[in-house]
A and B are shown apart, each in its own frame.
Chain A
Amino acid sequence: MNWNWSAVSDFMPHFWDGLLVTLQILVVGSLISFVLGLVWALLMRVPSRWVTWPVGAVTEFVRNTPLLVQLFFLFYVLPEWGVTASAMTTGVVGIGLHYSTYTMQVYRAGIEAVPVGQWEAATALNLPLRRTWTAVILPQAVRRVVPALGNYVISMLKDTPLLMAITVLEMLGEARLFSQANFQFTEPLTVIGVAFVVLSYLASLLLRALERRLVH
């Protein structure tokens, strides 16, 4: 095994560019998945099967099919339908949509974990439905699910390299470009492998701190 430190230092500028893109994908993708997931979870509570059935079927479908193929779908099919977006936008929307089908289940579990008494109290106080949700149920439900949502942010971090397949230059994309230009595969790939371990470890530490503050 021959390890070349100068290849590492040559790669580092590209690495920081890639890291920035990865983090952008992660932040925007997480926000999309948090919001959309909540929307799906609330739609699933609508007392009409005309709403719950299609939402349930679509989210189940998205959750059980590969993100990679979904990204290809968005990247190649949307332009045919006249929707043009940059690869980055497409990728972020794709990953956010994919993970919203996971966060939806998290929200649902959180909502179901709110004690029945809270619902009854809201009814007894004659709160309108909107206020029951915004002032009573959601604040309690969301608090409980923050750690579980954080776990999905970590999984999403590990899925960001898939965006490389639709030409987004995140960490792995930068590494591949650099490897092919300089024929140095070992160093860039190992650097980003280590970077992923470090990032997910830091994220899990952060999450544990957040969990202590919010849940206990």
Chain B
Amino acid sequence: MTSGLWELVLQGVWVTIQLLVLSGLLATAVSFVVGVARTHRLWIVRFLAGLYTEVFRGTSALVMIFWVFFVLPPAFGWQLVPLWAGTLALGLTYGAYGAEIVRGALQAVNPAQREAGIALSFTPWQRMRLVLLPQAVPEMIPPFSNLLVELLKGTALVSIMGMGDLAFSGNLVRLALQESAEIYTYLLLIYFVIAFLLTRVMRGLESKLKAGVGKAPARRRDVKPKLPEATAVGGGVR
């Protein structure tokens, strides 16, 4: 590969990283707002937040991207810059997944903590900010780390809309060189390295946050999927 083509790939990496950071920020904001709303005391707020998660988790991210690129402009009469359209579609979709993580972590906080907050006559907002979130956030980091890798993989979808991200520049290089194996191997390796760095950063963040609430980070090689409680079959000494 010539240096000009590498430059093209690097530009693609830069677009991918921009998209990842922007949609990651939007997704985080959406997940906290919707996730906290799902624990609200008014049923209508809970219902709307639940509807949002069901709808956005139900559709495919790629369908969402198509919708934002093709349906929004004529429907509302404004055209988004591709980067922002991609950010919007990815952020809203992955935010819906994140909302479930936030809700799960908030519900996993010991109920006595919430009761103590009430007993000390904290307002609901103070309870959330000073008692619940500091304990829930460290628990959210491992699932958020997985979601972030999913988001990174999701950013490749915008290449279908012709946005010059890593996957798109890879396709251009393929057309220029007629050498698919080499360029796609590089592409996969670059994505893998980014994903690897992301999980490392998130692991560091987790141990930092856990130290803040006096806990040791869970030792794990990778996060196991949660299994439903199964009825014990047979006895056996553990």
Please list the residues of chain A having a beta carbon within 8 angstroms of any beta carbon in chain B.
1-2, 61, 64-70, 72-73, 76-77, 80-81, 105-106, 108-110, 113, 115-118, 120-121, 140, 143-145, 147-148, 157-162, 164-165, 172, 175-176, 179, 185-186, 189-190, 192-193, 196-198, 200-201, 211, 215-216
Contact = CB atoms under 8 A, between A and B. Distances in A.
Nearest to B236: A117
Contacts of B57: 200
Contacts of B79: none
Interface of B: 54-55, 57-64, 66-67, 70-71, 74-76, 149, 152-157, 159-160, 167, 170-171, 174, 180-181, 184-185, 187-188, 191-192, 195-196, 222, 224-238
B237 A158 contact: no
A77 B70 contact: no
Contacts of A66: 152-157, 167, 191
Nearest to A56: B221
A207 B126 CA distance: 39
Given A64-B192, A116-B237, A189-B70, A158 B61 contact: yes
Given A1-B75, A113-B227, A144-B230, A69 B187 contact: yes
Contacts of B195: 64-65
Contact of B184 (A73, A144, A159, A161): A73
A36 B77 CA distance: 48
Nearest to B224: A109
- Sorted nearest first, the 3 A-B pairs with minimum C-beta distance are A117-B236, A197-B58, A66-B156
**Quick one: which of A66, A121, A160, A193 has the most chain B CB within 10 A?**
A66
10 contacts: A64-B195, A64-B196, A65-B153, A66-B156, A68-B157, A69-B156, A69-B191, A76-B174, A160-B60, A172-B66
Given A69-B187, A162-B157, A64 B63 contact: no
Given A65-B192, A186-B70, 6 more contacts: A72-B170, A117-B234, A157-B60, A158-B60, A193-B63, A215-B229
A68 B74 CA distance: 28
Contacts of A172: 60, 62-63, 66
B232 A115 contact: yes
Contact of A67 (B64, B153, B227): B153
Given A65-B195, A118-B236, A164-B160, A197 B59 contact: yes
A189 B66 CA distance: 7
A82 to B, nearest CB: 12
Contacts of A179: 70
A144 B228 CA distance: 7
A61 B188 CA distance: 8
Contacts of B230: 113, 143-144, 215
Nearest to A73: B184
B71 to A, nearest CB: 5
Contacts of A192: 63
Contacts of B71: 185-186, 189-190
Nearest to B157: A68
A76 B180 contact: yes
A86 B63 CA distance: 24
